Structure 1
């Protein structure tokens, strides 16, 4: 019912490769054509999809159909990709009946109980002789953190077991294979730092339910809080005042 389509520019293809229209009794644009071998086709966009988010913007907050079209075109041309969150027709009607995303503010990330569900951006750094970030992965869709070793860099910088991985070093992992993600993490070890956007299972389900796009640019993303440094690390590091 809910889909996240990342359209990536292809030098051999002109444009995004889909057509959308306005339609009576619908508050969102509807995809009516997806061209073969286009960025839209490869992203999973299909005819009949309702576009409910363009990047991080709810289409309900966009003033006109022309402005939606321009936003998609400019984002695609300037950044080389554009992310669309979509619903099938039946899914749209269900959400509309329930209120769902069509409410101006379907949820408020400032509320304490909701803020706990927000994505967390963890910037993990290896110090001194540390060679590993200190976590293991469980393959899946999306891939997630299986274990976090107590006292490890991952533990200290706020990573948790069962966190679902959304981005690695600002790159969306939606269409990356497990092997590609592992390779990116290994490369980050050589650079001795890793930036990883994660969300816990409850937050992930909450976001799916409310059709909330998830990326590190959103204003409600939390910074992974570093835990108090261990005495072992305190003995290893000199502090210059």
Structure 2
């Protein structure tokens, strides 16, 4: 296995899409090259239900920018995109200047009325993908609550959880991300928004359940030694290889 620098971004989202993209760009540039960087769910636009068409159009500009920034690193976030039958919350993985993986949010959050504005993605899109030699998977915010979706990312070395998690349920987010790491014996990279209504709680969780978090920071970083996965799966054998 390998070591890799991981970063979780914990940012506020403003109403101005261009300002959000510029801020995200500046944070990414602060991160080391050859690292993996996770930004919060829809951090460039928020859920902006009154400007969905505008957000979808902006996703094209954001995609071009993130493709360029990913020439020497990996960047993951989600954005609003429109297809023929409606809008989707798309998680996108940018790696070495290419779009490596995309999945549309399958479980939509009813308390946030997501089901009234978005189409549900195909569950089959929640699947393993590789970043170099690392087997990766992702769950988008509300999807973290569904055990059947944990099964779909079982066996991964690294699981991404971008979110805009409500501050009233902060303990839920931190408990579930930690439990996901322990149950799957994987590293979990979790990134939640930092707006006043959001839980924060972003961080890096090891397969042993050690959580590296700091609600005062926009960039939370740690070097992940993926040999820890082999160690924990051998030490506490639950049938994962």
TM bracket, shorter-chain basis: under 0.3
Point out which structure has higher relative CO (alpha carbons under 8 A, 6+ apart).
Answer: 2
With the length of structure 2 as denominator, give the TM-score of the two structures. Answer: 0.28
